[in-house]
Amino acid sequence: MFSHRPRSWRELPLRFADFGVLHRNELSGTLTGLTRVRRFQQDDAHIFCTMEQIESEMKGSAPVHAPREISGRHRVWNQAEKQLENSLNDFGEPWKLNPGDGAFYGPKIDIKIKDAIGRYHQCATIQLDFQLPIRLNLTFVGSMCVSSLQKLASWRMLTSTPAVCLNKKIRNAQLAQYNFILVVGEKEKMTNGVNVRTRDSKVHGELSVSEVLARLILLKQSRCANAEEEF
């Protein structure tokens, strides 16, 4: 669902809800009737966000009045764990660290409840997953890296990573309906230029960065209805 089209940094954090059926092959002796069962449904949320957005998303996801337990491996996820810690401290409720209890794919917050006879049961979990984006090659388009083009933030433009072949990048941009696709290769890099084409496969050819900038600003100011053709 995330990667069926190119994603912009402006879309993040991207939040999905999931109410699907889950099946678990619990170990012998762990079934408890309500919280540990073979089959259940729960209101899952799947949030795609940047590392910098983790803390704010945690504050929006975790209930305010439940006891909390944070756990996770150190070394790789120190930055993420620090943001989890900050969010828990801001809640003002007691929590404790449980070293080594995190999953291999990321640290988590476990929310536990206590029953009438003092037994604790794990309830909800807020889990970070760094492996899913890596395994599914999930990426998003960042802000423009060419300083002279940063003024054009209101135009729909695509920058991409070298992991995908050029033809596929162009095709993805056309499917996503980006108005203009600016291709920069070794040749364009040497001449400080860009090769311009549109979502309708019209090729305008190589132009200098300054000329492209001037044309786009003029089209924006004139509110041209067919900018791709008039470029």
Report the DSSP beta bridge partners of residue 36.
none
Same-domain status, 130 and 157:
no
Picking from 101, 135, 169, the residue at the C-terminal end of a domain is 135
Lowest mean pLDDT among 59-73, 88-102, 123-137: 59-73
Domain presence at residue 4: no
Instruction: Tell me the CATH number at 209.
Output: 3.40.50.800
Picking from 86, 104, 135, the residue at the C-terminal end of a domain is 135
Q: Which residue range is the domain that position 59 belongs to?
A: 9-135
Same-domain status, 162 and 186:
yes
Number of domains comprising the chain: 2
Same-domain status, 187 and 117:
no
Domain presence at residue 117: yes
pLDDT mean across residues, the chain: 76
Q: What was the pLDDT predicted at 17?
A: 86
DSSP 222: H
Same-domain status, 52 and 131:
yes
Q: What is the DSSP string of 183-219?
A: E--HHHHHHTEEEEEETT--EEEEEEHHHHHHHHHHH
Q: What was the pLDDT predicted at 46?
A: 87
C-alpha 149: how far from chain center: 24
Same-domain status, 97 and 177:
no
Picking from 91, 112, 135, the residue at the C-terminal end of a domain is 135
Q: What was the pLDDT predicted at 54?
A: 85
| Matching residue, tokens 């917050």 | 109
Lowest mean pLDDT among 153-157, 171-175, 203-207: 153-157
Q: What was the pLDDT predicted at 87?
A: 83
- Give the largest Cα separation in the chain, rounded: 75
**pLDDT-above-90 percentage for the chain:** 0
pLDDT, one tens digit per residue, over 70-83 is: 443 445 467 778 88
Question: Could you tell me the pLDDT band of residue 228, with boundaries at 50, 70 and 90?
Answer: confident
User: Among 70-79, 132-141, 144-153, which range has the highest average pLDDT?
Assistant: 132-141
Domain presence at residue 2: no
Same-domain status, 93 and 20:
yes
Same-domain status, 179 and 114:
no
Query: What share of residues in the chain are helix, strand, coil (percent, to 5)?
Result: 30, 25, 40
Average pLDDT in the 55-61 region?
79
- In three-state secondary structure terms, 126 is strand
Q: Is the pLDDT of residue 230 over 60?
A: yes
Same-domain status, 113 and 30:
yes
Q: What is the DSSP string of 76-124?
A: SSHHHHHHHHHHHHHHTS-EEEEET-SBTTB-EEEEEEE-TTS-EEEEE
Same-domain status, 177 and 118:
no
Same-domain status, 16 and 103:
yes
Domain presence at residue 198: yes
Q: Is the pLDDT of residue 189 over 70?
A: yes
Q: What was the pLDDT predicted at 76?
A: 47
Domain presence at residue 140: no
Q: What was the pLDDT predicted at 68?
A: 41
Instruction: Tell me the CATH number at 76.
Output: 3.30.930.10
Same-domain status, 23 and 120:
yes
